[in-house]
Structure 1
């Protein structure tokens, strides 16, 4: 039974990440649920996009969106938490992980992106 359960968990995880390859930590998923509950909305998804800008050339956009546009890649992370990427952002974010930190030094969502070759001193943009 344990082998079957492990196999099922791995299959579920693989299925949930094939749409765009971005991961979401448990801390980030919990924060997304909390923010949606505060808004009284269950129809929102977390949208992550890469846009031109910042001192290094590209910046992350992270916000709630009720829309799913043509060509969007969507992954559901259970209990109503979905992450959406537009098709142009997918190659820049493949393998990235969204986390949420709540410490004395830092509070907020962070993005660990293995595709970023460098970033600026402020940490808001990358190339």
Structure 2
């Protein structure tokens, strides 16, 4: 483990790594991203997470595959899954954990963000 890597535990005792941009990606989320990339047949995509103005609470997350990197992007490799965060989003996402849930009640990526002070009733935006 390098000096800029910190091992953490997330909800459900899933181990994750947190590095340069402060965002952790759980093993479950890594596996889901690998699966989605394999379905697309692409190995040139990265998982980008960004915070943008919008929603009823003021800020929304954007989580998508991106083939590009921009100047000042922070890129961290999680076992072959690259996670990219732009410099403007880093302060909002530092300490956040991306996980993937697959239950009867919920399926999709989740973001546990200690910087979010509140969220709207629909759960799509935060402040």
TM-score, normalisation: structure 2: 0.88
Residue 10 of structure 1: how far off its partner (Å): 6.9
Contact 2:4 2:20 in 1 (8 A): no
How much has 1:59 moved relative to structure 2? 0.1
* Structure 1 position 14, deviation (Å): 3.3
Structure 1: unaligned runs, 5 residues or longer: 1-8
Matched residue, 1:116: 116
Distance in 2 (CA, whole Å) between partners of 1:82 and 1:88 is 18
User: In the alignment, what sits opposite 1:42?
Assistant: 43
User: Using the alignment, how far apart are the partners of 1:70 and 1:106 within structure 2?
Assistant: 36
Measure how far apart 1:50 and its partner are.
0.1
Structure 1 residues 44-123: aligned runs within 5 Å = 44-78=45-79, 80-123=80-123
Let me know the Cα RMSD of the aligned residues. Answer: 1.7
Conserved? CA contact 2:18–2:95, under 8 Å: no
Tell me the matched-pair count. Answer: 118
Which consecutive residues of structure 2, in runs of 5 or more, have no partner in the other structure?
A: 8-16
Q: Determine helix, strand or coil for the equivalent of 2:30.
A: helix
Higher relative contact order (CA 8 A, sep 6+): 1
SS at match of 1:19: coil
Distance in 1 separating the partners of 2:25 and 2:49:
11
TM-score (norm 1): 0.88
Q: Aligned partners of 1:40 and 1:84: how far apart in 2?
A: 20
SS at match of 2:108: strand
- Of Structure 1 and Structure 2, the greater helix share is in 1
Indicate the structure (1 or 2) with the bigger Cα radius of gyration: 1
